[in-house]
Amino acid sequence: MKEYIDKINTIDELLNAKKNFNALVENKINEIHHKQIAESLSKLSFGLIKENFETLSPMLIETKEGKKILNKYINTIKENTNLLTLHNIYEGIRKIGNNSDLDNFFSLLKEEKDKIDVKTLNKDIKKLGDILSEAYLPLNDVDNLLITENNTVNEAIDYIVRNDNTLKNASEYGYALKVLKEDIQKREHEVSLSESKNIDETANALIENFNKKYDSLSDEEKEIIREFITSENREEIYKKYMTECIEKLNLRINEFEKDNDFDSVSRMEKIKEQLSNKKYSEETLTEDLNNICEMTKLFE
């Protein structure tokens, strides 16, 4: 480095060399930081790996390589008894309603978790973590979307999965069950939009309300709403339609880029970022349905 600097004879050349060197250093710092985050993602718990894949999936499906990684993630779970059992446990806990027989549910949960080989569990989860790391590396500007801190529910599930209920750990095991029960009970309002109506009446009522507020709905928009309400897993339906909106948005962005309309590209990119960051919540179901219907109209 000193020999290179000694060959420079003007201040302007030195300042330019300094600028280039600082840029190289900054890029290297970012590269190392990116790899460090990828490495940390490979060590996350199953619950966090699952959450992060659900968060990153809209971006992954945009590329051929991203789709391959998603398929790799899905197939790894399907082909591994430990991972598939964990996946089923998390999905069961997410879907269970407060009006269900919780004692029976936790009995079934114990039966399910007994399929897990705790001795190989960490190794199997690491396989999935490595795939998450692989998925993260090609992506940019997603660090703020990542979830790297376990919540009490994930910790409770992990404890129950890895331990049997014995006199020695009765307090810890009981606390983990308590955390899960409280989480299920506080989601009571998410189970049904209306306890006094059957599902078809609820769907029709919601469609009628949307018609009044947003003029007339197309048959496609009515079908979106009906599919939301009648589905056992509305979150999956939500993700499906949001993914379709993002795909249509990408096509529109490409059109604007071809026309050199970069102001429109910038606006569309901001909308895309908002959609990608939006997480499903039953508390904002009406607003989310409206947004999807509006996006459907916008990108037709």
For the chain, what are the domain ranges? 42-146, 199-298
Mean pLDDT for 206-225 is 57
Mean pLDDT of the chain: 77
pLDDT score of 6 more than 90: no
Q: Give pLDDT, residue 190.
A: 40
- Listed in sequence order, the residues at least 6 apart from 144 whose beta carbon sits closer than 8 Å to its beta carbon are none
Own/partner pairs, 210-215, CB within 8 angstroms, 24+ separation: 210/289, 210/290, 210/293, 213/290, 214/290, 214/293
pLDDT score of 108 more than 80: yes
Q: Give pLDDT, residue 121.
A: 93
Q: Give pLDDT, residue 278.
A: 75
At 167-200, the pLDDT tens digits run 888 899 999 999 988 888 776 444 333 333 344 4
DSSP class of 284: G
Residue 202's pLDDT band, with cuts at 50, 70 and 90, is: very low
- Listed in sequence order, the residues at least 6 apart from 288 whose beta carbon sits closer than 8 Å to its beta carbon are 238, 278, 280, 281
Q: CA angle at residue 118 from 115 to 119, to 5 degrees?
A: 125
Mean pLDDT for 198-215 is 49
- Looking at residue 283, its amino acid is E
* Most confident residue range from 8-12, 183-187, 219-223, 229-233: 8-12
Using alpha carbons, list the distances in angstroms from residue 125 to 53, 156, 176.
13, 17, 21
pLDDT score of 141 more than 90: no
